[in-house]
Structure 1
Amino acid sequence: MNSYSGYIRQPHYYETDQMSIIHHSNYIRWFEEARVDILNFLQLPYQAIEEAGLIVPVLEVSCQYKNMIRYGDTVRIDVFVEKYTGTRLDFRYEIRNDAEELMTIGTSKHCFLTKDTQRLVHLKKAAPDFHQIFMTYFQEHANNN
């Protein structure tokens, strides 16, 4: 399976603060955009996951701002699967500018629940095809993180 090449993003003007710096609240949205993008790359779009009767709530999110990102910059958000257990899925995000400088790092932690009962499920039993995709990608790229 190929490696994910990252999510390219140009900040919008409305995402800036009075100093033309990207407001801190937008980074969590950017993480979500990148997470949706990598799931699409894995051919596991949220729509398919939800159609299978599953939801993937956010349990925790963190963000560390290393350098300022401004309107007019282009950034790449690299997304790494940090942990996959079948019930949990943890991501790490690295935002880099065109000069490859690390601008921001973050994480998000998720679990898999049934849509109807909101009970924790193990993908190996509930959606074996999804489990295999996540497991294969995680194992193939675990050493690259």
Structure 2
Amino acid sequence: MNTAEPYRHKVQYYETDQMGIVHHSNYIRWFEEARTDLMAQMGMGYEEMEKRGIMSPVLSVEADYLRMVHFGDTVAINAYIKEYNGIKMTIVYEVVDEKTEMVHCRGLTRHCFINESGKPVSLKQCCLEFHDVFAKGLCDHKNKQ
């Protein structure tokens, strides 16, 4: 998928319902954990962006639940940048069971970039360093397909 290592997560009891099945809301949390990990691996963590006054709020989330994940399972969450244009970014996720290597969930999150005042910004214009990192992440992914 991309050059980043998958984010790994062992399912905790509190993430499940009475049947020991992961509650659907937790996949969205896992997406965020995987996205934060991906950005850190790319050398551009959220902390660095926020220090420079740039935020990246979620505009929308999608998740397709294909199979159940249970308490005690370990999943690998593959995340990669699918679309990026300097103003908006889409990140795609696959939640894969480490034992069976079966995909249990696919999803995506859409983001924009804003300054501390909440106004949209173009990373191409305000922070070329961030732009270059995200553009390279997009190119790396496209070169793998």
TM normalised by structure 2 equals 0.95
Matched with 2:92 is 92
Q: Aligned residue pairs: how many?
A: 143
User: 1:141 offset after TM fit, Å?
Assistant: 1.5
Inter-partner Cα distance in structure 1 for 2:7 and 2:27: 13
Matched with 1:7 is 7
Matched with 2:114 is 113
> Which deviations, in whole Å up to 9, do the C-alpha atoms of 1:69-98 show, x marking residues without a partner?
001111000001010000011001000002
Say which SS state the counterpart of residue 72 (structure 1) adopts.
Answer: coil
Structure 2 residue identity aligned to 1:142: K
Say which SS state the counterpart of residue 118 (structure 1) adopts.
Answer: coil
Mapped pair 1:43 → 2:40: no
Inter-partner Cα distance in structure 1 for 2:55 and 2:10: 29
Q: Is the CA contact (8 Å cut-off) linking 2:80 and 2:137 kept in structure 1?
A: no
Inter-partner Cα distance in structure 2 for 1:92 and 1:132: 19
Matched with 2:78 is 78
Inter-partner Cα distance in structure 1 for 2:69 and 2:75: 8
Unaligned runs of 5+ in 2: none
**How much is the aligned-residue C-alpha RMSD, in angstroms?**
1.1
Identity in percent: 38
Q: Which runs of 4+ in 1 moved over 4 A?
A: none
Inter-partner Cα distance in structure 1 for 2:16 and 2:10: 12
Matched with 1:32 is 32
Inter-partner Cα distance in structure 2 for 1:144 and 1:10: 28
> Which deviations, in whole Å up to 9, do the C-alpha atoms of 1:17-76 show, x marking residues without a partner?
011000111111010000000011011111100011111000000111100000111100
Structure 2 residue identity aligned to 1:86: G
Unaligned runs of 5+ in 1: none
Structure 1 residue identity aligned to 2:29: R
Inter-partner Cα distance in structure 1 for 2:11 and 2:61: 21
Inter-partner Cα distance in structure 2 for 1:114 and 1:90: 19
Structure 1 residue identity aligned to 2:67: N
